[in-house]
Amino acid sequence: MDGDGRYGQRVVWAVVDTAIGPLLLAATREGLVNVVFHATDEVRDKALERLASRLGREPVEEPGSPLLAEAIRQFDAYFAGERHSFELPLDWSLISGFNREVLRELATTVPFGTVVGYGDLAGRVGQPGAAQAVGMAMGANPLPVVVPCHRVVESGGGIGGFGGGLETKRRLLALEGVLPEPLL
C-alpha cells in the first residue's frame, strides 16, 4: 500500500530484457496496461510521460511488484519457447471503441503460430472492408506481444507494418514458427 492507502491505484513498471530487446511492462491493479518495445532510456521516459498523462498517475519503477511478477515470468517463458499464450489480467483502459473490439478479437481468436489478414480480422468484427482501420488499431495496440498484433499480415502475403519495427515483427513470427529464423 502506498502512503495514501492506494496500492491498487498505482501504476508500476519495469524494463525486462528479451530476445527482441528491452521491453517496458507497466501494470495497474486491473492488470498489464502497457508493453513498449525498444525501451531505451529515451523511449522509456517518453512512454512513462504518456502513461502518467493518460492514467492520471505517476508510474513507479517497481520490478519486484506483485502486479508485474506474473507478467515478467510469462514473458520470460514465451521468449524461451516454453509458453505459447499469455494468461494475464489486462487493463484495457488505454484503448476503446473499434480498436478495443479488434484487439480483443485478435487476442482471443488468433493463436500462437498462426496469422490473420487485416481484412479477415475486419470481417471477424463485422466490419468487412475496414482493413485500413484494423491496421490503425494494430498501431494503437498498448499491449503488443500479449495482444499479438505481430500476427496480423497483409492478405497478399506481405508482412505488413509493425509499431515495433519490421525486424521485431519478423523475429516474433520466427519465434512462433511462422517465418524461418533469420540467418544473421
Q: Which sequence positions are flagged as catalytic?
A: 149
Order of strands across the sheet with 60-61?
31-36, 23-28, 12-16, 60-61
Sign of CA dihedral 130, 132, 136, 141: positive
d(C-alpha 98, C-alpha 123), whole Å: 13
Cell numbers at 184, concatenated: 544473421
Cell numbers at 69, concatenated: 511478477
Alpha helices in 2-130 (DSSP H): 41-55, 66-79, 97-109, 118-124
Provide the CA 151 distance to its chain's centre, in angstroms. 12
